[in-house]
Amino acid sequence: MLRLEPALTGRRFDEPTNLVQTPAGRVLVSERDGRVWGFDGWQPDAAAAELLDITGRVSSRGSEEGLLGMALDPNDAGHLYLYYSASKPRRSVVARFDLAPDAAAIDPDSELVILSVGQPYPNHNGGMLAFGPDGYLYIGLGDGGSGGDPQGHGQNTATLLGAILRIDVADATAELPYVIPPDNPFAGGGGRGEIWAYGLRNPWRFTFDSVTGDIWAGDVGQNRWEEIDLIERGGNYGWNVLEGGHCFQPRDGCDGAGMTPPVWEYALDGEPCSVIGGYVYRGGSIPWLNGAYVYGDFCSGKVYGLRYAGGVVTEHRELADTGLRIMSFGEDGEGELYLLSQESGIYRLSN
């Protein structure tokens, strides 16, 4: 079983949503209300410096709204990308901000809006941002909310909702904030060109395996099933025809032809309530965990690991019973993993 070691104890965090480390070793942590904090390395009692406060732009009234995503640009150390909820009208915003060379400040007036997507409801906002090994920005969007996907976004490739997007922001300007990579599945038509994969309910967290480049996603279920997916180009992950690998609409006899089943699923039979996607562990301090995908559940506080080979899960085990409300996971520059809890701070996973 894994242990949890308190990390970054120099601040009492309020709903931390993301943790990233710059190439120079500075650690950035976002909070749901719209703040970003900076730390000089991993000293447990390192002082926290407020780098950005955009609480006036961020709507966090809904429990699934707020500053939800954060990603460093691997091609330009001077840029930080954020994903946040806004209101009047309700929408999800992906924006670029200027980051000081030493990552000691973020200019709030430098905001360049890359993408703005209308949201019909305050839940299922998705929120993950990550740059892939191809240098493109990937964005996770939920189905728009309410329950059961009443507007049918999951299976509608004419909308950006219920999908993971892939865009090129290398030369972003106010006039042309992004371009669509020519090898995106719908770049030539048949759907929105930004879509990389669809049929997702609420892909709250997805990450890239730093060795293989595989995209692992935790897609939050409705009432019965939580799922782990391997995201592939043009994949249709079933929602709202399927919940996990099971019929949702209709309850029986649904047609799942052409849809990609989850790698793993677990039932909502009491304590569990919401999958929190994590990372494939590639650090050096826990050798026996190397190559396993690590994820958790928000309500149960349990952390799990699975191994996948030859198209099947070859091992699945509980790694920790934390008793915490798990918001997210983070990874440092050495591939070590961190757990972000709703009310109890940030912890390093260790032997």
The mean pLDDT value of the chain amounts to 96
Alpha carbon distance 24, 19 (integer Å): 15
Split into its structural domains, the chain has a count of 1
* pLDDT single digits (tens) 178-237: 999 999 999 999 999 999 999 999 999 999 999 999 999 999 999 999 999 999 999 999
Q: What integer pLDDT is reported at residue 44 of this predicted model? A: 76
CATH at residue 271: 2.120.10.30
| Dihedral sign computed on CA atoms, order 33, 177, 71, 341 | positive
Per-residue confidence band for 45, with pLDDT thresholds at 50, 70 and 90: confident
Per-residue confidence band for 271, with pLDDT thresholds at 50, 70 and 90: confident
- Is residue 272 scored above 80 in pLDDT? no
- Is residue 22 scored above 90 in pLDDT? yes
Give the type of residue at 134: D
User: 60 and 34 in contact (C-beta within 8 Å)?
Assistant: yes
* pLDDT single digits (tens) 289-303: 999 999 999 999 999
Rounded percentage of the chain residues whose pLDDT exceeds 70: 100
- Is residue 304 scored above 90 in pLDDT? yes
Per-residue confidence band for 311, with pLDDT thresholds at 50, 70 and 90: very high
Q: What integer pLDDT is reported at residue 87 of this predicted model? A: 95
Q: 34: domain range?
A: 3-350
**pTM for this prediction:** 0.98
Contacts of residues 158-161 at CB distance under 8 Å and 24 or more positions apart, as own/partner, are 158/191, 158/192, 159/192, 160/117, 160/192, 160/194, 160/195, 161/117, 161/119
